[in-house]
Amino acid sequence: MEVILKQDVPNLGYANEKVKVKPGYARNYLIPQGLALNATETNCKILAENLKQKAFKEEKIRKEAEELAKALKNITVKIGAKAAESGHIFGSVTPLQISQALKDQFNFDVDRKRIRVDQEHIKELGTYKAKISLHKEVHVEISFEVFSE
């Protein structure tokens, strides 16, 4: 018997996948638990349409991420921090500050959780690099400068 999985089932398959199982397993466990549907002609057509729409949406999101990556590629973000005369800053520069500076200076809205800084803690004035993951396939590296206020 063929069923279409609604969610991932360990040792069987992934969501939106058509798998062959024994009839008792489908009737007594998968279908009543809401884990699968019968693979009827109608359900197969619905699955095909859903997969097509999902692929279209993912492609659109990826293209938007690539456009944002092109825009972010050659910019330098300036972040002001209070610093001592020796060049050490009070506190450290965090991804939240980088995200806020991107929004204020260039009007790019990037989630702070998607920003990774090369060094663990930035505690001195200077120019540094940060990696931004805009999509699972699209990454961009930006430079930012920490200056004394």
Of 60, 81, 105, the domain-final residue: 60
- Given a contact cutoff of 8 angstroms between Cβ atoms, the answer to whether 58 and 135 are in contact is no
Q: Are 38 and 82 contained in the same domain?
A: no
Q: Are 23 and 74 contained in the same domain?
A: no
d(CA 85, CA 114): 32
**How confident is the model at residue 104, as a pLDDT?**
92
Domain carrying residue 98? 69-148
The tokens of 9 are what?
């089932």
- Give the model's confidence band at 135: pLDDT under 50 very low, under 70 low, under 90 confident, else very high: confident
Q: What is the mean pLDDT of residues 9-18?
A: 92
CATH code at position 56: 3.40.5.10
- Give the model's confidence band at 12: pLDDT under 50 very low, under 70 low, under 90 confident, else very high: very high
**How confident is the model at residue 31, as a pLDDT?**
94
pLDDT for residue 10 is more than 80: yes
- Given a contact cutoff of 8 angstroms between Cβ atoms, the answer to whether 122 and 99 are in contact is no
**Residue with the two structure tokens 């699968």:** 36
The tokens of 124 are what?
């001195």
**How confident is the model at residue 149, as a pLDDT?**
82
- Predicted confidence (pLDDT) per residue in 45-68, tens digit: 999 999 999 999 999 999 999 999
* Range name among 20-29, 48-57, 111-120 with the lowest pLDDT average: 111-120
Q: Are 88 and 20 contained in the same domain?
A: no
